[in-house]
């Protein structure tokens, strides 16, 4: 097993909190406090996994994707663009707009990316902290497709393999690399099973 993967799995086992409704809390290293050494190891691993791809931009979504995306971007030497949650009232023609259902809050919201920052010359690596049903990624994919940008791949820190997003994206032919895949987790015992 690659070192970054082992570090991440060990950390999830040690500090992850299994909540009801399929939610894994990792606030102590990924979603509230950020362990930069761990994120750096994840960045190095994504660089290794996508070493053959020409990447010009990292794309993520606010808020929880930004931390990991910034550290990953250091390994590729490219900028990070994050999709912003927007009030419909602010939407203007120079933005790509897509609609996303939030996994953790259930709400549907618009996200925007300025046309200035993603275009048809870009080769994009999409990065996010979690993959569950795939709604967040569907939105980011939609933005890239509207921009005419090439999606070189998708890098996820923690995929919940018991939810449908990962299988569906792989079926659609996307190059999806998840560092840790949780196949099962039990809120009663706190047990987490990795693929
Ligand atoms: P999806 O759109 O794939 O259903 O959910 C992905 C998004 O929801 C991620 O960007 C992440 O912020 C959030 N998310 C989904 N599942 C979890 C989870 O189990 N724990 C945490 N902390 N965030 C999650």
Parse the chain into domains and list their residue ranges: 2-194
What CATH architecture does domain 2-194 belong to? 3-Layer(aba) Sandwich (3.40)
Q: How confident is the model at residue 62 (pLDDT cuts 50, 70, 90)?
A: very high
Q: Which of 133, 125, 140, 126 is nearest to 168 (CA)?
A: 133
Structure tokens at 56: 């010009």
List pLDDT tens digits, range 6-24.
999 999 999 999 999 899 9
- Name the residue at shortest CA distance from atom 19 of ligand 1: 23
Answer whether residue 114 shows pLDDT above 80: yes
- CA of 85 relative to ligand 1 center, distance in Å: 15
* 159: Cα within 13 Å, side-chain hemisphere: 25
Nearest CA to ligand 1 atom 20: 24
Choose one of 17, 104, 174 to mutate for the ligand 1 pocket test, by most ligand atoms within 8 angstroms of C-beta.
Answer: 104
In this model, does residue 2 exceed pLDDT 80?
no
Test site for ligand 1: of 16, 100, 103, 105, most ligand atoms within 8 A of the Cβ? 103
Kindly state the percentage of the chain with pLDDT values over 70.
97
Helical ranges in 50-175 per DSSP H? 66-76, 135-147, 165-171
| Mean pLDDT lowest among 69-83, 90-104, 129-143, 150-164 | 90-104
pLDDT over threshold 70, residue 55 = yes
Closest residue to atom 16 of ligand 1, CA basis = 132
Question: Buried b vs exposed e over 38-50: b needs ≥16 C-beta within 10 Å?
Answer: bbbbbbbbbbebb
**pLDDT (mean) for 151-176:** 98
Which atom of ligand 1 sits closest to the CA of residue 139? 2
């Amino acid at each position: 097993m690659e070192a970054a993967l082992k570090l991440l799995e060990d950390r999830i086992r040690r500090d992850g909190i299994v909540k009801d409704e399929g939610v894994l809390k990792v606030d102590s290293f990924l979603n509230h406090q950020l362990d930069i050494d761990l994120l750096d190891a994840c960045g190095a691993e994504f660089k290794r996994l996508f070493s053959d791809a020409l990447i010009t931009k990292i794309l993520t979504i606010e808020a929880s994707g930004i931390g990991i995306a910034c550290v990953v971007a250091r390994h590729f030497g490219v900028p990070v663009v994050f999709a912003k949650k927007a009030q419909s009232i602010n939407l203007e023609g120079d933005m790509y707009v897509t609609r996303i259902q939030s996994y953790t809050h259930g709400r549907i919201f618009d996200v925007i990316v300025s046309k200035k920052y993603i275009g048809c010359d870009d080769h994009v690596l999409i990065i996010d902290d979690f993959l569950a049903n795939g709604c967040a990624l569907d939105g980011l994919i939609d933005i890239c497709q509207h921009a005419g940008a090439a999606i070189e791949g998708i890098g996820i820190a923690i995929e919940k393999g018991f939810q449908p997003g990962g299988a569906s994206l792989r079926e659609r032919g996307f190059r999806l690399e998840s560092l840790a895949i949780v196949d099962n987790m039990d809120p009663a015992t706190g047990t987490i099973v990795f693929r």
